[in-house]
């Protein structure tokens, strides 16, 4: 429940109202703790309320739901758990005896002494310096997302995105949805750092991804007018003579995140260096308790990861705090967290997650009185930067490999085709299928398989897929055509009977096509399905249609 003044009798103080903080508050509240959650913003939910895309993960992580929908569910759960929520409140300091000073509404300072604290303070975006980086129009990807999805303000008309982790890819897509023209996505490495399915969406929209390039300079008199990029060698040094100028008014930086450990440092918590999680983070044990008894960490504060892992870490921290408060026993804590740890290990498996799982194990194994040596990092096969790239030995030959195989048809019957060949932790398509035609290995990072004989072509799997990696393909339509059904989340929406141009996986125009069906239902959750008919000669190459663009 929302409150207007500090609850001084709180057993547990949770700092931060994002997925980790809400997860911790809910679990502790359900187990009898008096919980006060504070957040500096005027609305709880953290980053969730600017996340309009659908989340990966499992049913327990609300996979297939959009971020703001997950935020609303968590707020309801927090209310039902009796959590007191105090907004527009900043933590000024946390002291060794666990006293915490709060500034409410920018006016009143109150000091409380909870019996336990969960720090879920999140992280911050990294910047990049180059000539012109201080020009108006150079912003972080998170700022662009806030402009578009919270304030409904387009930060620019012609945008260059620097960085190809999931943040850069997702925000580039959302800028396209908002009506911006994304000129290019620039990545210094030879492959994108984020998921293939996100990269494929960008390419289908006709946006070039310039791997092996970096931003050399931003130019302009009073604001960004031009972005100069250049190719780089294996050591990321610029190659002279490869410069290229892009006309743009906005340059978005998506170059990594770093943990916010300021309060943990102030409280005296021991810090450790973990390259897998963005650098320096508070040491913690398997219950997310730090070296200071009664102080817990969760989410990006405990290491940069995805929102679904932050939610589960928050749940573990909240249960651990309830045990520290003696509202549950140690046996109850172990039983309650065992399933959550299994889910976390699933999320931290595969080529994207294994090094993070190994990193967490190494942190917890080290003990709060020990240092983590560089040899430990080398032995685990991890890299020492803060990108989302996978270990070199796990990189596919091309980040587009998952979108490279032709669809397999069943004559006149529409069947689902999966372009999801990467071990991403995700499975909402399985529960969405009403006939059980989709299966997967027990691991959350398994590759989905389709029994095309069972598939009815209902399209439910298309609407829940967070990566838009599923289409419906009908090989034979009429005398000489094929059809393709796909999710289309741009405005304006094509209309039935409209003539459009079909494109390949790089956004290149292949042929003319006709829209024969547009489906928008509540079950599709704001993901309209568009079906086009086109010449069967291009059946194995068509992936999407050329986007219609409105004048800004």
CATH number at residue 62: 3.50.50.60
Strands 226-231 and 244-247: antiparallel
Peptide bond before residue 79 is cis, with ω within 30 degrees of 0: no
Task: Name every residue whose Cβ is closer than 8 Å to that of residue 122 and which is 6 or more positions away in sequence.
Answer: 16, 18, 20, 46, 47, 260, 299, 300, 301
What confidence score (pLDDT) does residue 366 get? 80
Whole-prediction pTM: 0.91
**Is 7 part of any domain?**
yes
Same domain membership, residue 459 and residue 436: yes
Note the pLDDT tens digit of each residue in 1-44. 676 678 888 999 999 999 999 999 999 999 999 999 999 998 89
Note the pLDDT tens digit of each residue in 256-287. 999 999 999 999 999 999 999 989 999 999 99
Same domain membership, residue 247 and residue 289: no
| Residues in the chain where the model's pLDDT stays below 50 | 369, 371, 373-402, 552
**Is 374 part of any domain?**
no
What confidence score (pLDDT) does residue 404 get? 59
Same domain membership, residue 277 and residue 249: no
Same domain membership, residue 240 and residue 134: yes
Are the C-beta atoms of residues 501 and 511 closer than 8 Å to each other? Answer: yes
* Domains of the chain: total: 3
Q: How far is CA 378 from CA 272, 367, 373, 374, 383, in A?
A: 16, 19, 9, 6, 8
Question: Would you give the distance in Å from CA 222 to the centre of its chain?
Answer: 33
What confidence score (pLDDT) does residue 552 get? 42
Helix (H) or strand (E) holding 112: strand 108-112
Same domain membership, residue 136 and residue 111: no
Note the pLDDT tens digit of each residue in 316-327. 999 999 999 999
CA pair distance 277, 361, nearest whole angstrom: 12
Q: What is the dihedral of CA 204, 206, 211, 213, to 10 degrees?
A: -160
Its sign, for the CA torsion 203, 205, 206, 212, is negative
**Is 390 part of any domain?**
no
CA pair distance 399, 392, nearest whole angstrom: 13
Range of the domain at 445: 415-545
**Is 398 part of any domain?**
no
Same domain membership, residue 518 and residue 436: yes
Domain ends where: 343, 365, 387? 365
Same domain membership, residue 498 and residue 474: yes
Domain ends where: 254, 278, 303? 254
**Is 373 part of any domain?**
no
Same domain membership, residue 202 and residue 239: yes
**Residue with tokens 């070199």, as numbered in its chain:** 392
Same domain membership, residue 262 and residue 120: yes
Are the C-beta atoms of residues 198 and 175 closer than 8 Å to each other? Answer: no
**Is 100 part of any domain?**
yes
Domain ends where: 202, 237, 254? 254
Same domain membership, residue 219 and residue 262: no
**Is 37 part of any domain?**
yes
Are the C-beta atoms of residues 461 and 433 closer than 8 Å to each other? Answer: yes
Are the C-beta atoms of residues 36 and 115 closer than 8 Å to each other? Answer: no
Same domain membership, residue 132 and residue 114: no
**Is 377 part of any domain?**
no
Same domain membership, residue 262 and residue 165: no
Cβ atoms within 10 Å, residue 373: 11
Task: Name every residue whose Cβ is closer than 8 Å to that of residue 450 and which is 6 or more positions away in sequence.
Answer: 415, 416, 417, 418, 437, 438
């Amino acid at each position: 429940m929302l409150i207007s003044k500090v609850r001084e009798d709180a057993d547990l103080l949770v700092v931060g109202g994002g997925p980790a903080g809400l997860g911790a508050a809910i679990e502790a509240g359900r187990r009898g703790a008096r919980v006060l959650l504070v957040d500096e913003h005027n609305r709880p939910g953290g980053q969730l309320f600017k996340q309009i895309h659908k989340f990966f993960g499992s049913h327990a992580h609300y996979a297939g739901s959009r971020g703001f929908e997950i935020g609303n569910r968590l707020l309801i759960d927090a209310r039902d758990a009796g959590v007191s929520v105090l907004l527009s409140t900043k933590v000024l300091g946390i002291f060794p005896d666990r006293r915490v000073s709060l500034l409410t509404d920018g006016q009143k300072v109150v000091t409380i002494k909870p019996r336990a604290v969960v720090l879920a303070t999140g992280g911050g975006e990294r910047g990049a310096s180059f000539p012109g980086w201080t020009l108006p129009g150079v912003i972080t990807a998170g700022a662009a997302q806030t402009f578009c999805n919270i304030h409904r303000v387009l930060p620019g008309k012609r945008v260059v995105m620097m960085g190809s982790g999931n943040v850069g890819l997702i925000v580039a897509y959302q800028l396209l949805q908002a009506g911006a023209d994304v000129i290019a996505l620039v990545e210094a490495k030879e492959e994108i750092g984020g998921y293939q399915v996100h990269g494929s969406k960008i390419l289908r929209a006709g946006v070039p991804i310039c791997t092996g390039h970096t931003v050399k300079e931003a130019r302009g008199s009073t604001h960004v007018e031009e972005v100069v990029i250049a190719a780089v060698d294996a050591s990321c040094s610029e190659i002279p003579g490869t410069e290229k100028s892009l006309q743009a008014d906005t340059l978005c930086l998506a170059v990594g995140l770093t943990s916010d450990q300021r309060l943990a440092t102030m409280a005296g918590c021991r810090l450790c260096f973990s390259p897998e999680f963005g650098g320096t983070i508070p040491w913690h044990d398997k219950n997310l308790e730090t070296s200071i008894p009664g102080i817990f960490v969760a989410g990006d504060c405990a290491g940069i990861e995805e929102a679904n892992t932050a939610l589960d870490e928050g749940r573990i921290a909240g249960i651990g705090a309830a045990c520290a408060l003696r509202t549950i026993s140690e046996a109850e804590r172990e039983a309650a967290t065992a399933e959550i740890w299994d889910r976390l290990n699933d999320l931290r498996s595969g080529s994207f997650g294994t090094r993070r799982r190994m990193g967490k194990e190494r942190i917890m194994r080290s003990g709060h009185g020990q240092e983590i040596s560089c040899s430990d990092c080398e032995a685990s096969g991890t890299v020492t930067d803060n990108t989302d790239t996978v270990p070199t030995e796990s990189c596919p030959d091309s980040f587009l490999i998952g979108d490279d195989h032709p669809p397999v048809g069943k004559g006149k019957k529409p069947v689902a085709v999966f372009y999801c060949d990467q071990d991403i932790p995700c499975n909402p398509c399985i529960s969405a299928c009403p006939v059980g035609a989709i299966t997967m290995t027990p691991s959350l990072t398994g590759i989905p398989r389709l029994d095309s004989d069972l598939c009815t072509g209902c399209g439910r799997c298309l609407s829940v897929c967070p990566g838009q990696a599923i289409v419906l393909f009908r090989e034979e339509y009429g005398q000489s055509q094929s059809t393709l059904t796909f999710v289309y989340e741009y405005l304006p929406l094509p209309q039935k009977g409209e003539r459009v141009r079909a494109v390949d996986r790089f956004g290149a125009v292949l042929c003319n096509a006709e829209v024969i069906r547009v489906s928008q239902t509540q079950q599709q959750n704001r993901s309209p399905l568009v079906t086009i008919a086109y010449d069967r000669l291009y059946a194995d190459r068509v992936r999407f249609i050329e986007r219609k663009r409105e004048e800004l």
